């Protein structure tokens, strides 16, 4: 069994955290934008909730490639 390098493990965890932070931030942005737009149209609460869920899904689609890029950037530096 090969010994684990603590600094490499820490760098990997930092890169992983950065990737998830990017993903979470983008999902929060898209859900907030969808909520604002639904409230601005004076929609009912169930429609606003559905818009938020749609925004989270859209943010996930956009955020996954950005999160992978952040993971690669943090991993290579």
State the DSSP string of 23-47: HHHHHHHHHHHHHHHHHHTT--HHH
Q: State which residues form the domain around 38.
A: 23-72
Q: Is residue 12 part of a domain?
A: no
What phi, psi does 4 have (nearest 5°)?
Answer: -90, 130
Measured over the CA atoms of residue 42, residue 46, residue 51 and residue 56, the dihedral's sign is positive
17-69: pLDDT as tens digits? 999 999 999 999 999 999 999 999 999 999 999 999 999 999 999 999 999 99
Q: What is the number of helices (H) and of strands (E) in the chain?
A: 2, 0
- Residue 2 reports pLDDT greater than 70: no
Contact 71, 14 (CB under 8 A): no
Q: Is residue 39 part of a domain?
A: yes
CA 32 to chain centre: 13
Domain count, the chain: 1
């Amino acid at each position: 069994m090969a010994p684990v390098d603590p600094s490499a493990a820490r760098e990997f965890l930092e890169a992983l955290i950065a990737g998830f932070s990017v993903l979470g931030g983008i999902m929060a942005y898209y859900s907030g934008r969808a909520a604002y737009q639904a409230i601005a149209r004076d929609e009912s609460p169930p429609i606003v909730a559905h818009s938020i869920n749609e925004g989270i899904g859209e943010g996930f689609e956009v955020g996954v490639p950005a999160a992978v890029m952040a993971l690669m950037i943090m991993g290579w530096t």
